[in-house]
Amino acid sequence: MEHGTTSPLSQGAAGRIEIQSVRKTYRDAAEGREVLALDGVTLNIEPREFLTLLGPSGCGKSTLLNILAGFEKPDAGRALLNGDPITRPGPDRGVVFQDYALFPWLNIQQNVEYGLREQGVSKAEAQEISARYLAMVGLTGFERRFPHELSGGMRQRVALIRVLAIDPQIMLMDEPFAAVDAQTRTILQRELERLWMQTKKTVVFVTHSVDEAIYLSDRVTVMTARPGVIKAVLPIDLPRPRDPTSDTFNRFRRDITQLIEVESRKVFAPRRPDLADVGPLSPPKPILALWALRQFLSGKRSM
Amino acid sequence: MNADNAIGDRHQARSGWRLFWSRVVSRLGWERLARRALLPVLLLALWQYAASAGWVDPSFIPSPAAVLDAWWQWIFGPRSTFAWYSGTWFEYVWLSAWRVFVGFAIASIAGITVGVLIGWFEKVRDLLDPLVQGLRPIPMTAWLPFATFMFGIREGAAIFLIAMGSFFPIVVSCTHGAEQTPKNLVRAALMLGTPPGRLLTRVVLPSALPSIFNGLRVGLGIAWVLVIVSEMLAVKGGIGYAMWTAYQFVRIDLIIAAMFTMGLLGLVSDRLLLLLNRRLLRWNTGLRAR
């Protein structure tokens, strides 16, 4: 741990990520069949870069993020952090979840200190670090509150600093602001940009929002509809902080929105009917009814 | 409910009872209090009237006053060879409470351990779940002859029955709680550096606590049921024993007194558990829909 020695903010190393032909299928419980989520994704992410994954729903953005976090393993290909394969989750890659994933039984201070204590940081030092980060996001005075007593925006701030406190090399953020209201979202985006400029971590950020992507990213990666591959990588060479009403911002907005719309339309295209649906040897009605009942009871189908 | 009220009342009321009443009144208000007391008071009055007006044979159904009288003698009366029950109340309450406590403690420790392990580790589930699910459908009272056969008319039989009976609801509830551990909390803990071997104590157990407490409450209720059953049939002493003896001597007043005693004990023990629950689950109170 390189804590508290040099700067008010820890300046640990920022990691380099290499994603090499990553392929991932998973079993869709609702449809009861194998689904190809990622089909050969290759992407390099530079240290200190802010990269956004953008794409239609179900394009595998979150799957890719989960692979980088070590929560899931690729079926083929590999993901490397500083040249080493990622095999499991660890404190060198901090994750910020959409649903915050704060421990509801710990108060705010304990939540921020959790990771530090797990790294073996002393109680006194953990307290000092957590106080500093809480002050940085304006949550001083909320130390003894429990997560459910805070607003969504405040909870996400806690989730953010609990990860920053353990000084990871990478920050992985899975639609972190999707559950808060629009005003809070704008404020949180500004705060994230400020924190990122201060700490200069490598950030991989998943979002649905084109504006959010342009506002925050060094590069925006647009993914295709399922199976997800990378359709385009666009460097956003605008000076920070960015003005979402400027002409250049608007040009990016138009270009990226068009790219995404093409993909979104594919998602809603009618699905090619399965053989099972219209096969010439369709099973007799009672069997079909039993099958439907079975699926209903196992929660795979609603009646 | 209202902190300011409670503090204000503390200045006015000195004695415990007055404090209690002023709290109850300030919490509910006179009108609601009256509405809540209406039905029980009415029923008691009807019962008393029915007994004194001669609607029923008083030797068959005693009046509330007679029940209170018998209860009083049961509690405070002198020990006497002529009245078997006189002055035995405290001893019997203690006996029953002790049996419940020991049986319930064994069931809690075993049930929480086994339940959480079944809910979290697939291998433990494969190993133990068939056994638990296989024994669970056997009604607890069906264990009684087996228990008395194994342990004789002794403490062991009662403790065994109580422990067995409250074990199953606790196990089921704890299993459920451990299974429901949110996936993202487990992931968050791993991401923050918790070793996989510590997930059980760091994440699974605390997140299962609300379910664990639900199981404990159900288990405690069953423990009180079973202490009565086993005292009626398998061991000497205790409220259930007194109730059964009263039945054999056709003392309805004592039977009713014993019933109220049981209700009181169940209420007190449940309140104690709730108090512990509030203490440990302060973080959970806001999550519950009210």
Instruction: Give A87-117 pLDDT, tens digit per residue.
Output: 999 999 999 999 999 999 999 999 999 999 9
Q: Is B276 helix (H, G, I), strand (E, B) or coil?
A: helix
Task: Note whether residue A211 is domain-resident.
Answer: yes
**CB under 8 Å to B285, separation ≥6 — which residues?**
B278
Q: Is A39 helix (H, G, I), strand (E, B) or coil?
A: strand
Q: Are A127 and A202 in contact (CB under 8 A)?
A: no
Chain B interface test: which of A118, A158, A167, A172 (most B C-beta within 10 Å): A118
| A122, A178, B114, B221 from B197: Cα distances, Å | 21, 33, 17, 34
B209 in A contact zone (CB under 8 Å): yes
Whether residue B141 sits in one domain with residue B249 = yes
The pTM for the full model equals 0.81
Residue A76's DSSP bridge partners are A23
A119 in B contact zone (CB under 8 Å): yes
Q: Which of B182, B187, B192 is facing A91, going by the closest CB pair?
A: B192
Task: Note whether residue B111 is domain-resident.
Answer: yes
Whether residue B40 sits in one domain with residue B164 = no
Task: Note whether residue A24 is domain-resident.
Answer: yes
Q: A99 to chain B: which residues are within 8 Å by CB?
A: 184
Whether residue B25 sits in one domain with residue B168 = no
Question: Do residue B188 and residue A106 have CB atoms under 8 angstroms apart?
Answer: no
Residues B126-152 pLDDT 10s: 999 999 999 999 998 898 888 888 888
* pLDDT value for B207: 94
How high is the mean pLDDT of chain B? 87
B153 in A contact zone (CB under 8 Å): no
Chain B: residue nearest A98 by CA? B184
* ipTM exceeds 0.85, yes or no: no
A243 in B contact zone (CB under 8 Å): no
The stretches in chain A having pLDDT less than 50 are: 1-10, 275-276, 278
Task: Note whether residue B196 is domain-resident.
Answer: yes
CATH number for the domain that contains residue A245: 3.40.50.300
Q: Which of A94, A99, A105 is facing B191, going by the closest CB pair?
A: A94
Q: B210 to chain A: which residues are within 8 Å by CB?
A: none
* pLDDT value for B284: 72
> What is the DSSP code (8-state) at residue A122?
-
Residues B187-228 pLDDT 10s: 999 999 999 999 999 999 999 999 999 999 999 999 999 999
* pLDDT value for B13: 45
Share of residues in chain B with pLDDT > 70 (%): 92
Chain B: residue nearest A93 by CA? B191
**Domain that includes residue A58, residue range:** 17-297
pLDDT band, residue B1 (cuts 50/70/90)? very low
Here the tokens at position B285 are 């109170």
Q: Are A59 and A224 in contact (CB under 8 A)?
A: yes
A201 in B contact zone (CB under 8 Å): no
Task: Note whether residue A183 is domain-resident.
Answer: yes
Instruction: Tell me how many residue pairs between chain A and chain B have CB atoms under 8 A apart.
Output: 67
Residues B226-250 pLDDT 10s: 999 999 988 888 999 999 999 998 8
Whether residue B107 sits in one domain with residue B49 = no
Task: Note whether residue A7 is domain-resident.
Answer: no
Residue B50 has pLDDT above 50, yes or no: yes
In the sheet with A202-207, reading across from the earlier edge strand, the strands are: A93-96, A170-174, A202-207, A50-54, A219-223, A230-235
Whether residue B93 sits in one domain with residue B37 = no
CATH number for the domain that contains residue B105: 1.10.3720.10
Q: Which of B187, B194, B283 is facing A118, going by the closest CB pair?
A: B194
Q: B194 to chain A: which residues are within 8 Å by CB?
A: 118
**Domain that includes residue B207, residue range:** 89-284
Task: Note whether residue B168 is domain-resident.
Answer: yes
* pLDDT value for A4: 39
* pLDDT value for B23: 81
